[in-house]
Amino acid sequence: MATVLVAGIIGGEIFALMKMPKVTGWIATGILLRRMALPGMNTTEDPACLDRFLPYMHFVLGFIAFTVGATLYFASLRNTTKRIGYLLLGELLLTPVIVAVLLYFIGPLVPGGEVMTAKPALVLAAIAIAGAPGTTVLVIQEARARGILTRTLLAAIGLIDMIAVAVFVFITTILGDASGWSHALQSVLIQFTVTLAIGGSCGILAILLTRTLVSPAFLGPTMVAAILGAWGFAAGFGTSGGILACTFAGIVVTNVRHDLVRSGEAYLQTIGGALFALFYTFAGMRLDFGLVPQAAALVALYFFARLIGKCASASTAMSLAGVTKNVRGYLGISLLPHGGVAVGLILLISGENSGFSEEVRTLVNTVGLSALAINQLLGPSATRFALERSGEAHKDRARLLDFLQEHRITVGLTGDDREATVRELTSQLYATSKMEVNQEEFIQRVMARDAEHSTCLGNGLMIPHAILEDGEGREIRGVLGISPEGLNFDTPDGRVVHAVLLLATPEVERSRHLQVLSAFATAITRDANLVEQLYHARSPAHAYEILHADKHADINYFLEDAADQAGLRPG
């Protein structure tokens, strides 16, 4: 393990110098180590030599799955339901259908493809749905990305793997025992029910322990125990869903006690680099490039069929959801990475007890793993390319309007009077932020301040706000409501109100509060283009992209840049 870790670190750094993702370097290093056949890692003499590291691989896979599940914080997914729903529907229908059709009809026509029949085509189509949550999260972190595409990726990648497992179980059940559709659906429901019960129980148990017996110093280790328990019980009950169980555990923990997720991630953060470098180098060692020449044409067909399926699925889904061109054009490419779940599904088919003939098992193993190797090498770079070209890379530096994330924006704002509008926005604020002050008391503070001095700034903008006292919050919070038709309030310039920004500002954030007011007031008087776009935003995602676009950096600037200009930072 020491040899593999050191080699992986070096390989990752070399690829980083070439402006490529480190994860690609780790995988490439693993492929090279396999070819070198070092003592104790010679897969030719001992094909099962890498199996001794499976417990480690399973733990990291579980940690990745838990982290992905933890991103599904329902309060923060407001306004993304439509986008994610269409994407999952596309992954359920378009991706496997496109892959299966291309493999079945074109496969037999390519060199060496005469063995491609309906069974391997359908199985490979199900496996094609799976993504690579760990790789994707790692590339996003490495690219320091933030935006609608990034947000969509993080929310969807775990759910896409769930779709892949469901379709795989459904197809293999039908093909394996010919018991019919009802039995296949029953198998899918059993898998998901069992893993949900296991993951949910482990998550709830961890939460109960942290609330009763476990001290704050051991919150992180308790989360690790929840991951190990979820994977172990799932394996013990004979399901193929260790990844599913850990994902469900993450979902439960993040939605019942959100702060615990951060504790678990912080606990492993210090050794995260070592965990992932070792994991992906081992993953590279399990992928044999020697298989590629045997079915090169089929491998190429499968790779491009999956890419076409992903792009068609994402583009169609995002078009239906009405998102901007940036997300529509690059989301499919960013879904290219293929990882842990796909490896697990291929290994399930490769087993003698899978119910398939040796010919089918060999074909799925050869084409699946070979294409997976190519995806593992090209996928991270494809995701990085998509993040760069969409303009979302290097955006995780603190900005003035970071509190205005997509789930804190609404379009189609209504209200017969100011108080009704404030109440509507306050409900959204309390649904998406943890507030220490009573909701009704907060509304009264906002209305009292507005009565004292009108918060309508003119030019269609209104910024009602309240100052929070000590102990009622440490950071500025807010929601933005947009009304394309306009709200007929009593305003200084007689214009209808198109945008209402509701702010909750702690005493310690008064200076930033003034910066927000100044930035918005300046923007609406000087930038007619921004005003026109913002006041007529088609969706919360569209409004988010308008405010966070580089060309509008004057309103949403990097805080550290502002501090530098003001001479507030050393150097």
* Cα separation values, 172 from 91, 129, 250, 515, Å: 18, 14, 28, 58
Averaged over 241-262, what is the pLDDT?
Answer: 81
Q: Are 487 and 464 in contact (CB under 8 A)?
A: no
Which DSSP string corresponds to 287-351? Answer: --GGGGGGGHHHHHHHHHHHHHHHHHHHHHHHHHHT--HHHHHHHHHHT----HHHHHHHHHHHS
Q: What is the pLDDT of residue 505?
A: 84
Q: Are 3 and 38 in contact (CB under 8 A)?
A: yes
The answer, as to whether pTM is greater than 0.85, is no
- Residue 263's identity, in one-letter code, is S
Q: What is the pLDDT of residue 559?
A: 41
Q: What is the pLDDT of residue 280?
A: 82
CATH fold of 2-389 reads Na+/H+ antiporter like fold (1.20.1530)
* Cα separation values, 151 from 91, 154, 243, 470, 520, Å: 17, 5, 21, 32, 25
Indicate if the pLDDT at residue 274 is higher than 90. Answer: no
- The SS3 call for residue 493 is coil
Token match 């930035």: residue?
Answer: 519
Confidence grade of residue 350 (pLDDT, cut at 50, 70, 90): low
Vertex 99, ends 184 and 181: CA angle to 5°?
15
Q: What would the pLDDT profile of 462-494 be if each residue is shown by its tens digit? A: 888 888 887 777 788 888 899 988 888 888 888
Which DSSP string corresponds to 423-434? Answer: HHHHHHHHHHS-
Rounded to the nearest 10°, the torsion over CA 255, 259, 261, 267 is -170
CATH 3.40.930.10 describes domain 406-566: yes
The residue that leads in pLDDT, 101 or 419, is: 101
- Residue 92's identity, in one-letter code, is L
Q: What is the pLDDT of residue 561?
A: 44
Token match 């320091």: residue?
Answer: 144
Averaged over 360-364, what is the pLDDT?
Answer: 83
* CA gap 152, 131 in Å, rounded: 14
Q: What would the pLDDT profile of 441-457 be if each residue is shown by its tens digit? A: 999 999 998 888 888 88
**Gyration radius from the chain CA atoms:** 26
Indicate if the pLDDT at residue 563 is higher than 70. Answer: no
- The SS3 call for residue 558 is strand
- Long-range Cβ contacts of 121-124 (<8 Å, 24+ apart): 122/96, 122/171, 122/175, 123/168, 123/171, 123/172, 123/175, 123/349, 123/356, 123/360, 123/364, 124/99, 124/100, 124/302, 124/364, 124/367, 124/368
Residue extents of the structural domains in the chain: 2-389, 406-566
Q: What would the pLDDT profile of 17-53 be if each residue is shown by its tens digit? A: 987 778 778 888 988 898 888 887 777 777 778 878 8
* Residue of 159, 167, 158, 151 lying closest to 64 (CA atoms): 158
* CA gap 204, 207 in Å, rounded: 5
